């Protein structure tokens, strides 16, 4: 998995793409079983939606549309954290990589919250 650097990165389109790619890399390594299959499907969807919705927000038709789409982006970050927590429970040997992704999801959510608050 690609390590997320400590220094702040401001290219959120790239950062959200990297987040989704790192989730995919983790999920490809996990054992195939019914629990992981369900959790992985949910996580891949939510983590991919973070970047997709962020890009939609960047193409918003106005301020109200931008804030609405950013709220969806933030919601997908929160959902990603949820599925990562469950994946961590199901795969205790992968906690370091999962914790890194949880931290990134929380940092992204905090960034999006700040953007939303400044856009009101």
On the question of pLDDT at 48 being above 80, the answer is yes
* Rounded Cα gap, residues 89 and 87, in angstroms: 5
Average pLDDT value for residue range 49-75: 96
Paired tokens of 17: 């793409």
Alpha helix positions (H), 59-94: 63-90
* Rounded Cα gap, residues 96 and 8, in angstroms: 20
How sure is the predictor about 12, in pLDDT bands with cuts at 50, 70 and 90? very high
How sure is the predictor about 26, in pLDDT bands with cuts at 50, 70 and 90? very high
CA distance readout (Å), 61 to 51, 115, 116? 18, 17, 16
pLDDT at 120: 78
pTM of the model: 0.89
| CA Rg value for the chain | 14
On the question of pLDDT at 99 being above 60, the answer is yes
Residue spans per domain, the chain: 12-119
Q: Which CATH superfamily is domain 12-119 in?
A: 23S rRNA-intervening sequence (1.20.1440.60)
pLDDT at 9: 43
* Average pLDDT score, the chain: 92
Which residues, 6 or more positions from 115, have their beta carbon under 8 angstroms from its beta carbon?
70
């Amino acid at each position: 998995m690609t390590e997320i650097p400590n220094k702040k990165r401001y290219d959120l389109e790239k950062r959200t793409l990297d987040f989704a790619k790192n989730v995919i890399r983790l999920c490809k390594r996990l054992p195939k079983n019914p629990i992981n299959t369900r959790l992985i499907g949910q996580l891949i969807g939510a983590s991919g939606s973070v970047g997709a919705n962020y890009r939609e927000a960047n193409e918003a038709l106005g301020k109200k549309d931008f804030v609405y789409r950013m709220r969806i982006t933030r919601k997908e970050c929160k959902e990603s954290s949820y599925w990562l927590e469950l994946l961590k429970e199901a795969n205790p040997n992968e906690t370091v990589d999962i914790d890194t992704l949880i931290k990134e999801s929380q940092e992204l959510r905090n960034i999006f919250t700040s953007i939303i608050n400044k856009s009101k």
